[in-house]
Amino acid sequence: MAKILIITGRLAEPIVKKVVSEIKSEHTVDILTMPVSIAAFLTTEYVAKYLRDVARVRSGDYDYILLPGLTMGSGKVIEETVGIKALKGTLDAYGLTEILKLRKLDEVLSPDVPADEVMQNSAENMARDILLKIEASLNDSNSISVDKVRIPLNPPPIRVMAEVFEAHLFSLDEVLERAKYYVESGADLVAIGFEALNPHPDSL
């Protein structure tokens, strides 16, 4: 459990208080409303001086200071001033819901980058790791192989197939150009399609 001080502005204060009151967090959370209407106008230099000289916040009072995501400057300025790690939260106050579920904020959040961006990257990396594990588990019992591409019998992962339809109407170069475009756009497989009931074996 950590002690967290959330920094906000006057306009966002009701939302921040609502989110904190409704979420079930293991952390102890305090809210400090700065004398500004819009939290995005805050700078880390201003927050650091306010915490030190007005709020009288000192090292040991909190484990983390959570800043609005759009605060200008680096949270390191605040840490150097009051001795407490300062991290950037989300752009939207409602995003605090996910942040306050984290056990150790400094293992995920950044003093320089809004949490939206950091947590998106984290979620994408987690999804990628899961897919890689699934890919590695595919074999003859749970998938079929089409030209070295494993297609699971029960997805995920999903395979994307694109078709160059009416291929007999195009030159070989045109077919290859379209197939290359589909692959570059994310297709795993490219099918060459011909007129229904007339396969055009001469073109094939």
Find the CATH number of the domain harbouring 50: 3.40.50
To which H or E segment does residue 27 belong? none
Q: Is residue 106 part of a domain?
A: yes
Which pLDDT score is estimated for 128? 76
Q: Is residue 153 part of a domain?
A: no
Residue type at 17?
K
Q: Is residue 98 part of a domain?
A: yes
With tokens 């991290």, the residue in question is 87
Closest CA to 26 of 1, 62, 4, 6: 1
CA gap 30, 38 in Å, rounded: 19
Q: Using CB atoms within 10 A of its CB, is residue 40 exposed (0-12), middle (13-18) or buried (19+)?
A: middle
Which pLDDT score is estimated for 204? 61
Domain that holds residue 10: 3-113
Contact 72, 44 (CB under 8 A): yes
Which pLDDT score is estimated for 27? 94
To which H or E segment does residue 64 belong? strand 64-67
Which pLDDT score is estimated for 85? 97
Q: Is residue 45 part of a domain?
A: yes
Domain total in the chain: 1
Q: Is residue 157 part of a domain?
A: no
Q: Is residue 186 part of a domain?
A: no
pTM of the model: 0.62
CA gap 126, 128 in Å, rounded: 5
Q: Is residue 127 part of a domain?
A: no
Per-residue pLDDT of the chain (204 residues; tens, 9 = 90+): 899 999 999 999 999 999 999 888 899 999 999 999 998 899 999 999 999 999 999 999 999 999 999 999 999 999 999 999 999 999 888 888 888 988 899 888 999 999 988 888 766 776 777 778 888 888 888 888 887 788 888 777 778 889 998 888 888 899 999 999 999 998 888 988 887 777 776 766
